[in-house]
Structure 1
């Protein structure tokens, strides 16, 4: 699958938000090089989310769940295993913005827990 070019201004806007999340993780003792589950979410209509859900594996994700919010808007949550260093998160964000263009969905961000390397 050929992934489309993303508007550089959009990527930079998302990256500015990503850096805030990464700073918060670091403030909570995160070791960014540790591989962990990372989830991403997309909003859209059922047809678009169905197509994305069907292709999730080909895109490197596992389907976590689909959820309806209080306004009736549907979101699809996908997950992958990766580090949370700047390069990996920037690449993830770029891929998600490309998915947004291909599937006519709205990328709604990523999330993960801080990992300090200690067992619970």
Structure 2
């Protein structure tokens, strides 16, 4: 179903932002090898987001929520369990940017809670 290639400059921009998030997690004692829910968000037309919601499971994600952003745009949140190490996050970002291209949506980033191994 791939419609086109991810822009390498866009991938580089997202990766720089990812490195900041990973550094922040590490500063808070995160153990990146611990699997945890990682959510991703996308903005787009309601129709595009519904198509993505319907395809989410086949892409390795579960539906989390659909909200309206403060500026009135619909925003879709998906989630999957994974580690937050460099390789896993790089793969996640590449997947999400391909989703952006394939579904005509805008990838808006990822997030997760720091995991130090002391609680579930």
Normalised by the length of structure 2, the TM-score is 0.96
Q: In structure 2, what is the equivalent of residue 24 of structure 1?
A: 24
Which 5+ residue runs of structure 1 have no aligned equivalent?
A: none
CA offset at residue 6 of structure 1? 1.1
CA offset at residue 100 of structure 1? 0.2
Aligned CA distance change for structure 1 residues 76 and 4 (closer, same or farther; 3 Å): same
Could you report, residue by residue, the CA deviation over 1:11-66 in whole angstroms, capped at 9, with x for unpaired residues? 11100000000000000000000000000000001000010000000000000000
Q: In structure 1, what is the equivalent of residue 116 of structure 2?
A: 116
Q: In structure 1, what is the equivalent of residue 39 of structure 2?
A: 39
Aligned counterparts of 1:61 and 1:22: Cα–Cα separation in 2 = 21
Could you report, residue by residue, the CA deviation over 1:62-108 in whole angstroms, capped at 9, with x for unpaired residues? 00000012221100000000000000000000000000001000000
Aligned counterparts of 1:18 and 1:3: Cα–Cα separation in 2 = 25
Aligned counterparts of 1:113 and 1:6: Cα–Cα separation in 2 = 28
Q: In structure 2, what is the equivalent of residue 52 of structure 1?
A: 52
Determine helix, strand or coil for the equivalent of 2:116: coil
CA offset at residue 109 of structure 1? 0.1
Which 5+ residue runs of structure 2 have no aligned equivalent?
A: none
Aligned counterparts of 1:114 and 1:3: Cα–Cα separation in 2 = 35
CA offset at residue 9 of structure 1? 1.1
Aligned counterparts of 2:64 and 2:13: Cα–Cα separation in 1 = 26
Q: How many residues align?
A: 120
Task: Report the aligned-residue RMSD.
Answer: 1.2
Q: In structure 1, what is the equivalent of residue 72 of structure 2?
A: 72
Aligned counterparts of 2:63 and 2:119: Cα–Cα separation in 1 = 26
